[in-house]
């Protein structure tokens, strides 16, 4: 069994010790083995026993220690140098005991008003350009690491729920097409999305996607268990997927 979680923690500052403590308390409750944190800070750790790999550089004003993406793992992990955007994406190889290794790709895709590498947001241009570049990353990483299963996780800034919450129809179609091309199943989409179960007017825009046929999904959960994100934590819900064991994944 393996527990993987992702959460956009809304840029916790070094001076926000109280908020970081609340975030840590929530994270420790979830007991994930692998965390993909986005809009985070190196001062925020899920606890002892984890190691981290962080995205490099920045494309916006920020304080020292801020990162777009940090991946934390209980298992041995090393960075994989194969991303088209070193600021907003990162890839790692994680070695699991008695199972196939994982390539985990953590990312933040452009939101509706976000530019990307000088490309404007209008008409979904920035989202489309970033997604096209990252799809090439996913396919290249899959081809170069045939001995590994592949997991994509992070803030994709697009709902994949049965009802509209955030994003655009164009971006949704593009993301669904990219996942299909990369042979990835989104475990936080449509009826699998845990957010609407306790927040009916919301949906997850933070997603966890795995190689098709990787393993059985035991459960998907989100937090906080309220009808909207809690302002003293983050403006996003977190999501976690628990994967059951099979021949590929026997942790």
Q: Using one digit for the tens of pLDDT, what is the confidence trace for 51-89?
A: 999 999 888 989 999 999 999 999 999 999 878 999 999
- Domains of the chain, each with CATH number or no CATH: 2-243 (3.60.10.10)
Q: Are 223 and 238 in contact (CB under 8 A)?
A: yes
Sheet containing 2-8: give its strands across.
51-54, 66-73, 34-41, 2-8, 238-243, 217-223
Q: What is the 3-state secondary structure (H, E, C) of 145-214?
A: CCCEEEEEEEECCCCCCCCCCCCCHHHHHHHHHHHHHCCEEECCCHHHCCHHHCCCCCCCCEEEEEECCC
What is the model's pLDDT at position 212? 86
Flag whether pLDDT at 250 surpasses 60. no
| 114-128 residue pLDDT tens | 999 999 999 999 999
Q: What is the mean pLDDT of the chain?
A: 94
Give the per-residue pLDDT at 82: 79
Mean pLDDT along residues 33-39: 98
For residue range 196-209, what is the model confidence (pLDDT) as tens digits? 999 999 999 999 99
């Amino acid at each position: 069994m393996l527990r993987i979680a992702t959460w956009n923690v809304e840029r916790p500052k070094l001076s926000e010790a109280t908020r970081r403590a609340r975030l840590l308390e929530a994270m420790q409750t979830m007991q994930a083995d692998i965390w993909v944190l986005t809009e985070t800070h190196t001062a925020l750790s899920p606890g002892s026993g984890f190691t981290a790999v962080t995205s490099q550089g920045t494309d916006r004003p920020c304080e020292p220690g801020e990162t777009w993406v940090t991946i934390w793992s209980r298992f041995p992990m090393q960075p994989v140098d194969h991303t088209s955007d070193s600021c907003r994406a990162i890839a790692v190889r994680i070695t699991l005991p008695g199972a196939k290794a994982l390539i985990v790709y953590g990312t933040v895709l452009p939101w509706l008003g976000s530019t990307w590498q000088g490309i404007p947001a209008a008409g979904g241009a920035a989202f489309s350009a970033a997604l096209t570049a990252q799809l090439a990353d996913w396919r290249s990483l899959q081809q170069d690491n045939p001995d590994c299963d592949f997991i994509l996780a992070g803030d994709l800034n697009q709902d994949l729920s049965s009802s509209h919450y955030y994003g655009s129809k164009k971006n949704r179609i593009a993301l669904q097409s990219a996942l299909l091309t990369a042979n990835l199943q989104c475990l936080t989409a449509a009826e699998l999305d845990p957010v609407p179960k306790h927040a009916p007017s919301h949906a997850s825009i933070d997603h966890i996607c795995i190689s098709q046929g990787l393993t059985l999904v035991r459960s998907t959960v989100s937090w906080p268990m309220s009808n909207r994100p809690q302002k003293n934590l983050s403006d996003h819900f977190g999501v976690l997927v628990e994967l059951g064991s099979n021949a590929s994944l026997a942790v």
